[in-house]
Each structure stands twice: as C-alpha cells, then as structure tokens.
C-alpha cells in the first residue's frame, strides 16, 4: 500500500467534503448572514483544492480576494439591506423543485461525461517557484488582458458608484 497516496486521497476527501457541505449550506441557510459565512467556508475549501493542485499563488489570491474582499463586500451588502431578513418565511421560491430536478439531470449528465472521457495526465513536474514566471507571462503573453483588467475595474467601480450613491 502506498502511504502518500492514501494520505493525499484522505486529505482530498476531507477538503472536498468541507467545500461541498459549506456550499450546500450556502444555498440552504435561511439567514443570509449565515449563508455568507458558509460561503466563506466554501472559499476556504476551494483555496485548499488549489493548494493540492500546486497553484499556491492562486490559493493565496483566493483567500485574499474571495474571502478578504468579495465575502466582505457581500457581508457589507447584507448589513446594509438587513431588517428584512424574514426568518419566518421560506427563502426558497416556488420553482425550486423544477430547478432541483433540472440540476440533478445536469449533474448526472456531467458526471457521466466526466467518467467517459479519457483524460490525459500529462502534467509536468513543478520543481521551482512559479510566481516570477507568472509575472513574466502577465507582462508579455497576457499583456493586453492585463491592461484591460484595469479598465474593467475602473468601469465596474464607476458604475457601482453611480448605482449605489444616494
């Protein structure tokens, strides 16, 4: 028996369990604030998955942006629109049964396709720090998207300001 393999799979299942359970809680919690906290748990799980895929930089970015910024943004929005977190009424709309059915079919389809396709495992080894290479590629191959991102952020910011200000 190969011990590292068993450990890796065990860790993977724990992380996957954390991700899926907190993802499920995100869409089922009645209280929106609780749903937001469950969302943070999901983000952590996804960050751990990135780590297992050796994308350390992305894992750190996941924590920094998704948890540190986007989740905080969502929590701010929840606080600003509080007072109508009706806990007595249902938080699920009328079409939920149909949605669940369609999604179950979708998942089954994706599951079967994933099992059918002969995926290649041709990933090379990562033997050194890859972040400097990421920086280099951002400045050469992906220069245009890199600069366009700043325009996108500017547009989003101005748009959000105009919509949100009093």
**Own/partner pairs, 142-149, CB within 8 angstroms, 24+ separation:** none
* Nearest distance from C-beta of residue 92 to another protein, angstroms: 5
- Tell me, residue by residue from 10 to 39, as one string, x for binding to another protein by CB under 8 A and - for no binding: -xx---x--xx--xx-xx---xxxxxxx-x
What part of residues 59-88 is at the interface with another protein (CB under 8 A)?
A: 60-85, 87-88
Token representation of residue 74:
């969502």
What part of residues 89-148 is at the interface with another protein (CB under 8 A)?
A: 90-93, 95-96, 99-100, 103-104, 106-107, 110-111, 114-115, 119-124, 126-140, 142-143, 145-147
* Nearest distance from C-beta of residue 85 to another protein, angstroms: 7
Q: How far apart are CA 48 and CA 52, in angstroms?
A: 6
* Nearest distance from C-beta of residue 151 to another protein, angstroms: 6
Longest CA span, the chain: 65
Contact status: 1 vs another protein (CB under 8 A): no
Q: Which residues of 14-46 are buried (b: 16+ CB within 10 A; e: fewer)?
A: ebeebbeebbebbeebeebeebbebbbbbbbbb
* Nearest distance from C-beta of residue 2 to another protein, angstroms: 8
The number of residues that bind another protein (CB under 8 A) is 125
Token representation of residue 77:
């929005």
């Amino acid at each position: 028996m190969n011990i590292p393999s068993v450990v890796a799979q065990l860790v993977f299942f724990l992380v996957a369990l954390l991700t899926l359970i907190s993802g499920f809680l995100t869409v089922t919690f009645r209280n929106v604030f609780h749903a937001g906290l469950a969302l943070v748990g999901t983000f952590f799980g996804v960050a751990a998955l990135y780590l297992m895929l050796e994308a350390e930089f992305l894992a750190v970015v996941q924590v920094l942006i998704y948890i540190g910024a986007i989740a905080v943004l969502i929590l701010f929005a929840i606080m600003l629109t509080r007072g109508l977190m009706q806990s007595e009424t249902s938080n699920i709309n009328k079409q939920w049964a149909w949605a669940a059915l369609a999604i179950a079919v979708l998942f089954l389809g994706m599951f079967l396709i994933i099992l059918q396709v002969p995926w290649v495992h041709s990933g090379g080894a990562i033997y050194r720090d890859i972040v400097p290479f990421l920086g280099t590629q951002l400045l050469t191959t992906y220069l245009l998207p890199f600069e366009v991102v700043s325009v996108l952020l500017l547009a989003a910011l101005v748009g959000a300001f105009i919509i949100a200000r009093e």
